[in-house]
Chains A and B, each alone.
Chain A
Amino acid sequence: MAGAAAAHAGEVEVLHWWTSGGEAKAATALKATLQKQGHTWKDFAVAGGGGDSAMTVLKSRVVSGNAPAAAQIKGPSLQEWAQEGVLTNIDAVAKAGKWDEVIPPVVASIMKYQGHYIAAPVNVHRVNWLWANPEALKKANAKLPTTWDEFFVTAEALKKAGIIPVAHGGQNWQDFTVFESVALGIGGVDFYKKALVQLDPATLSGPQMEKVLTTFKRIKDYTDKNAPGRDWNLATAMVIKGEAGMQLMGDWAKGEFIAAGKTPGKDFICTAAPGTQKSFTFNIDSFALFKLKNAANEKAQQDLATAIMSPEFQELFNLNKGSIPVRTGMKMDKFDECAKQSAADFAADAKSGTLVPSIAHGMAVPAAAEGAMKDVVSQFWNSDKMTAKEAQTKLASAAKTK
């Protein structure tokens, strides 16, 4: 048996940017699965939450003809990479694993290029979460907000109690993450789709967007002065320690709470961002699979794809990462309250059509337009002079970036 495994053993090199506490644990789980099958795992982790630096490294590798087996790429970027002709077809693996039956069509369509699977989905993240420290809320005698109006009441109470109301990391993608939750909460699903997925110019410059921007900017008054440049996990740590009351961040933040030994519902609260209870902004991590030259490595690559979609790995991985399995119909017994709620909402929203792609996390629009809009939102957040009207004009013109 060992001999047979060794004969087929190849090397998989996997590019990812899971380097913070909870994430690193999740990556280790994948490594263990592959090593059990006799393959060599070559870790290719590049630090940096947004993955910008990882992409730079990846591009230089691909251009020099030395692509890794798999790389963490997602959303419309998958299509861009596929257009460059560097991704491999994994229909055989998908067929053997009955992917079409176990993952929702909305997810499958992102993983396919011209009808062929070119990537394996790993997990589903919900982005529109609000994290809160119950002790801090109790100290401030404030309640968990369900609308944006309540949010500011709570924030004011926290401020009076001497607690930083909102833990924020002032990096442009984090500004954009908050913005996206506000847009969904204030404008609703249809507005979100029109403005931030279809990039409709009228909606982007309409009155609803002005309200979104004004509300978004109000949040800044409740963040601390040191926020610019802070990493998201450090902001989460502030909520964990009780220095800050709330944080608007995707459910990868939960991994940090868990890694710090906290229990959901008791030590921290997860709830949908204000006004977004009946909708779900998804961020799906996936591994794009590159064309390789060595047959043994190709075999290892296919085993990697199979392993990623196996129920055991999906469970193990997502338990560590804080996200939920991309496979539907999985048992959620071992998952915590937050993940159970997330999974139930994902299934319900998939049916009701209120599942929307996260623009801040590269799921909604191509990288160039996303980047330009992210710039505008971040500039608006940081500038004391720009009005919401001016920001709208800029946002509408940024959306035209091709």
Chain B
Amino acid sequence: MSASRAPRSPWLPKLVVAPTFLVSFLFIYGLMAWNGYLSLSASRLLPNYEFVGLAQYRTLFENERWWVALTNLGIFGGLFIGGAMALGLLLAILLDQKIRGEGVLRTIYLYPMALSFIVTGTAWKWILNPGLGIEHLMHQWGFENFSFGWLVDPDMAIYCVVLAGIWQSSGFVMALFLAGLRGIDDSIIKAAQVDGASLPRIYWRIIVPTLRPVFFSTLMVVAHLAIKSFDLVMALTAGGPGYATDLPATFMYTMAFSRGQIGLGAASATIMLATIAAIVVPYLYSELRSKS
């Protein structure tokens, strides 16, 4: 009866998968290619196909606002990824201590992930607004000199975005790490304990290093969140004050859709795509190579 397990005709599975494959190919790679082409065109208000070479990229890198957006991406990306991972790992380790009420705590930590970035942004906008949130509350409690105006300070506003981002994502990171921690063989830890290693030492030298695969997949998820981050900035600061909290995504939106510079917007989108590719491709390469 072994013949019945084999497909009746070898091309049938391929045929079944083909439409989906075609559609996703068209709508992912096709649109990427279209965007790439637009970035080489003179498109302004609506797409047009007059070829202008790399002129849009030159304009882009001469644009001061684009540099602000890139710097912000550096600050936001670094702190957000680092912060969310560190806090997530810490929470996971603390939760891993076989404590009472773990289920409740886990739900509480994971809960922010259930909210969209729009909700997070709006809520933090109220919390951080000097006239409504923390500063106002402190003044009402009698601390008249308390001042916390990061949200309205062009130099500090980007850190508000970082704060809200970490708040949103660290619970999710925690869940991933916790799953990883639970997957570690108990006997290794027991052996280490027998050898007289302290708990922090066990974590630092044995457990965290074995979490490497989890670490990388978490990094992938959080890193692409950072680069495509748009809704959080829009809800929290709308890119302001001025354009102090602009990120490449908001820059692209402004240029392509409200300034009538679709070509320039497409160029910035291509750069963002290239940035993500620069992270993803080496990772995929190393993953796939190690498996074969």
Residues of A within 8 A of B (CB): 50, 52, 55-56, 59, 62-63, 77, 80-81, 83-84, 86, 170-172, 175, 224-229, 366-368, 371, 375, 378-379, 381-383, 394
Check B162 for interface membership: any CB of A closer than 8 A: no
Tell me if A172 and B242 are in contact (CB < 8 A).
yes
With A84-B45, A170-B240, A225-B130 in contact, is A383–B154 under 8 Å at CB?
yes
**What's the Cα separation between A50 and B254 when bound, in Å?**
13
Interface string of B92-133 (1 = CB under 8 A from A): 000000000000000000000000000000000100011110
Closest Cβ of chain A to B170, distance in Å, is 26
Of B65, B241, B253, the residue contacting A375 (CB under 8 A) is B65
Check B283 for interface membership: any CB of A closer than 8 A: no
Chain A residues within an 8 Å CB radius of B242: 172, 175, 375, 378-379, 381-383
- What are 24 A-B contacts defined by CB distance under 8 Å? A52-B257, A56-B253, A56-B257, A63-B47, A83-B45, A84-B46, A170-B152, A170-B240, A171-B240, A226-B131, A226-B152, A228-B152, A229-B125, A229-B152, A367-B258, A367-B260, A368-B260, A368-B261, A379-B154, A379-B242, A379-B243, A381-B242, A382-B240, A394-B64
Tell me if A170 and B46 are in contact (CB < 8 A).
no
Q: Which of A55, A63, A228 gathers the greatest number of chain B CB atoms within 10 Å?
A: A228
Chain B residues within an 8 Å CB radius of A83: 45
Chain B residues within an 8 Å CB radius of A378: 240-243
**What's the Cα separation between A92 and B152 when bound, in Å?**
52
Tell me if B46 and A225 are in contact (CB < 8 A).
no
Interface footprint category on B? 20 to 34
With A226-B131, A382-B241 in contact, is A80–B260 under 8 Å at CB?
yes
Tell me if B243 and A229 are in contact (CB < 8 A).
no
**What's the Cα separation between A225 and B130 when bound, in Å?**
7
**What's the Cα separation between A77 and B46 when bound, in Å?**
12
Tell me if A226 and B130 are in contact (CB < 8 A).
yes
Chain B residues within an 8 Å CB radius of A81: 45
Chain A residues within an 8 Å CB radius of B254: 52, 371
**What's the Cα separation between A381 and B65 when bound, in Å?**
15
Main SS at interface, chain A: helix
> In the complex, which residues 238-271 of chain B have their Cβ closer than 8 Å to any Cβ of chain A?
238, 240-244, 253-254, 257-261
Tell me if A59 and B65 are in contact (CB < 8 A).
no
Chain A residues within an 8 Å CB radius of B260: 77, 80, 366-368
Check B44 for interface membership: any CB of A closer than 8 A: yes
Residues of B within 8 A of A (CB): 44-47, 64-65, 125, 129-132, 149, 151-152, 154, 237-238, 240-244, 253-254, 257-261
Tell me if B243 and A375 are in contact (CB < 8 A).
yes
**What's the Cα separation between A367 and B45 when bound, in Å?**
10
Chain A residues within an 8 Å CB radius of B259: 367-368, 371
Chain B residues within an 8 Å CB radius of A367: 258-260
Closest Cβ of chain A to B79, distance in Å, is 21
**What's the Cα separation between A172 and B245 when bound, in Å?**
13
Chain B residues within an 8 Å CB radius of A175: 242
Closest Cβ of chain B to A375, distance in Å, is 6
Tell me if A52 and B258 are in contact (CB < 8 A).
yes
Q: Closest A residue to B136 by CB, please name it.
A: A226
With A170-B241, A228-B152, A368-B260 in contact, is A59–B45 under 8 Å at CB?
yes
Tell me if A382 and B237 are in contact (CB < 8 A).
no
6 other A-B residue contacts (CB within 8 Å) besides A77-B260, A171-B238: A80-B45, A172-B242, A226-B129, A229-B238, A229-B241, A368-B261
**What's the Cα separation between A55 and B244 when bound, in Å?**
23
Closest Cβ of chain B to A161, distance in Å, is 19
Shortest 4 CB-CB contacts between residues of A and residues of B = A226-B131, A52-B258, A382-B242, A56-B257
Chain B residues within an 8 Å CB radius of A229: 125, 152, 237-238, 240-241
**What's the Cα separation between A226 and B261 when bound, in Å?**
32
Closest Cβ of chain B to A63, distance in Å, is 6
Q: Closest A residue to B246 by CB, please name it.
A: A375
Chain B residues within an 8 Å CB radius of A226: 129-132, 152
Q: Closest B residue to A52 by CB, please name it.
A: B258
Chain B residues within an 8 Å CB radius of A170: 152, 240-241
Closest Cβ of chain B to A288, distance in Å, is 12
**What's the Cα separation between A138 and B149 when bound, in Å?**
32
Q: Closest B residue to A378 by CB, please name it.
A: B242
**What's the Cα separation between A366 and B261 when bound, in Å?**
11
Q: Closest B residue to A84 by CB, please name it.
A: B46
Q: Which of A81, A367, A382 gathers the greatest number of chain B CB atoms within 10 Å?
A: A382
Chain A residues within an 8 Å CB radius of B149: 225
**What's the Cα separation between A266 and B217 when bound, in Å?**
66
With A62-B46, A170-B241 in contact, is A382–B154 under 8 Å at CB?
yes
